[in-house]
Amino acid sequence: MTTSTEGAAQTAVPLSGPLVRFRTAAYVTGVGLLGLCFVMVLRYAFGNPTPSAIYSPIHGVLYMIYLVLTIDLAIKARWSIKGTVLVLLAGCVPFVSFLVERRVTHKVKAGQKL
């Protein structure tokens, strides 16, 4: 006879893989966004559009990867739509992705939903 905790442990979805991928993407996106701010300063303050023309598409791809990995974790951790959208938007504001990554990591490890 199995107890209810054994059955729950067998059906629980392990979140360590998606969480590590999300954390990596959040850091990369945060650093990438800071890099984008730097090339935008070069473009508009110093009149040098070349770094922006090269880096902006790279940042766009990095952000798309962040979106996909965040949605993957959101589905597996059963986040609310509001929480998911807020985490997705965190990758658009400099430094916020670092703060949200810490909050999400603590909540996922504690088994809480967003």
Distance CA 49, CA 30 (A): 22
Domain ranges of the chain: 15-110
Distance CA 22, CA 40 (A): 26
Give pLDDT, residue 7.
Answer: 46
- pLDDT under 50: residue ranges of the chain: 1, 4, 6-11
Distance CA 73, CA 67 (A): 10
Give pLDDT, residue 10.
Answer: 42
pTM for this entry:
0.82
DSSP state of 56: H
